[in-house]
Amino acid sequence: MRLARLVKILWVAHRFGLDEFLLGSEQFPALRRLVHPLSARRKIEKPRAVRLRQALENLGPIFVKFGQVLSTRRDLLPPDIADELARLQDSVPPFDSGLVVQTLERVYGRPLRQVFASFDIKPMASASVAQVHLAQLPDGTRAAVKILRPKIDRVIANDVALLYSAAALVEVLWKDGKRLKPRAVVAEFERHLRDELDLMLEAANASQLRRNFAGSPLLRVPEVYWDWCSSEVMVMESMAGIPISQVDALRAQGVDLARLARSGVEIFFTQVFRDGFFHGDMHPGNILVDAQGRYIALDFGIMGTLSDADKSYLARNFLAFFRRDYRRVAQAHLEAGWVPRDTRVDEFESAIRAVCEPIFDKPLKEISFGRVLLRLFQTSRRFNVEIQPQLVLLQKTLLNIEGLGRELDPDLDLWQTAKPYLERWMSEQVGWRALTRHMREEAPHWGVALPQLPRLLYRRLLAGDSDAIAAQLASAAAEQKRQARWLIALSVVLAVLLVAQLIQLFV
């Protein structure tokens, strides 16, 4: 199967003229001469970036999804290709209704009519890994049923193996290949895909995000109906709303688009910096807006997580950017170990200033984060900045936020919207609020440990005495061994002298 898949990939690559990406390298002149007769009669008119996007769409949903992830790595791709890959849409035909019924009856172990009061066999949405149907639970509750595509795990395993091979080639062909960690990008992609193949994990993600935003006036997350969930089927609350991309419909419903845009920024920064747990696939198809102007999040297969160190690093950098403190940005990279220690801070600071200064005091409609990221990556290449694979998903989410912001309110001042929130978050992390919070969090542990301190101290003192006694005994034993060795040596010497004397007497 993998061989057949490889043959198809090679055929698609030839059809869309992708061989120029490989054969353009000076490392393969002989291969270029060999393939040239095969491609000489081929008629290619479209730009290379368009052809690459079309080839990925032709190869199927897994390559489309990887292209979406790859579009965020502007350090790895030329700008024309990165821009074109960002246009990839994960639109996949639904699988056969007979397979839908077969999967559900196998999972539940009984006929479909005994599981749901009603079930719409026509899917309301279809994506690369799963599709969604509307249904009604036995008690009349309206629900959305997400069903994994049959045998999708095999397809993914084969395609990911081929992507690893391609990443290895990238490391050979590109001068900066090892620094840019293409295999780490594939590994990150594989991890997210593997999580998407277990709908129980997605259900847990949805449940966590819902708990994080319980009672929030900004974001709604569907409730998970656990009794109907399995690794292949996820059943959750059916949510009604207008897709966020339908701006005219939102305006007709009376939604304040400017306020909606500001709420989106706050939701994003709340997920990243308060929770370290954020929605990693925020394209318009996964976001609705209800009648009250609240966001509705859908599809929780790809969620990003950040460590405390990552959150602190990002927050300090964001704040430094907002305050135009580029020296602090440069120092933060040095402190994190992301640039070589011999890097001159003043040179790095000047390079960052040249990238960021032109974008301040401009509305969102005049700023392209894609171009800013491109220039930042060019700077990172110059200063040998080590790429952090765990932040690739966050970068993709930032680009999604940019697109949504442009649709809702092109005049949104992203900096002024985000700065107060970040300053408040930082004060909670490093100010007196942080001290109070940490003391409150540690109070239960101190309540348990304090009564035990006298006993633990007594044991330690006893252990210290025992250690001293043991050390004395060991020292005495070592002294005895040393004395024994001297006695043995002396005995040998006396024996030799005695033998010598006896020999002289007999001679």
Which residues are identified as catalytic? 281
Question: What secondary structure does DSSP assign to 106-128, as a single string?
Answer: HHHSS-GGGT-SEE-SS-SEE-S
Check residue 276 and give left, alpha or beta (phi > 0: left; psi -120 to 50: alpha): left
Residue 217, SS3 per DSSP: coil
Q: Is-contact 283 400, C-beta < 8 A?
A: yes
Residue closest to 228 by CA, chosen among 148, 101, 115: 115
Q: Alpha-carbon distance 179 to 30, whole Å?
A: 27
Which letter, b or e, does each residue of 258-289 get, where b requires 16 or more Cβ atoms within 10 Å of its Cβ? eebbbbbbbbbbbbbbebebbbbbbbebbbbb
How many alpha carbons fall within 13 Å on the CB side of residue 473? Answer: 6
For residue 15, report the phi and psi dihedrals to the nearest 5 degrees: -60, -40
Q: What's the distance, Cα to Cα, between the start and end of the chain in Å?
A: 97
Q: Give me the torsion for CA of 484, 487, 488, 491, rounded to 10°.
A: -160
Q: What is the chain's alpha carbon radius of gyration, rounded to the nearest angstrom?
A: 32
Q: Which residues contact 436 (CB under 8 A, 6 or more apart)?
A: none
What string of H, E and C letters represents the secondary structure of 372-437? HHHHHHHHHHHCCCCCCHHHHHHHHHHHHHHHHHHHHCCCCCHHHHHHHHHHHHHHHHHCHHHHHH
Q: Which residues contact 239 (CB under 8 A, 6 or more apart)?
A: 144, 220, 222, 288, 290, 296, 298
Encoding tokens for residue 323? 């305050």
How many alpha carbons fall within 13 Å on the CB side of residue 279? Answer: 30
Encoding tokens for residue 228? 């109907």
Encoding tokens for residue 156? 């993914």
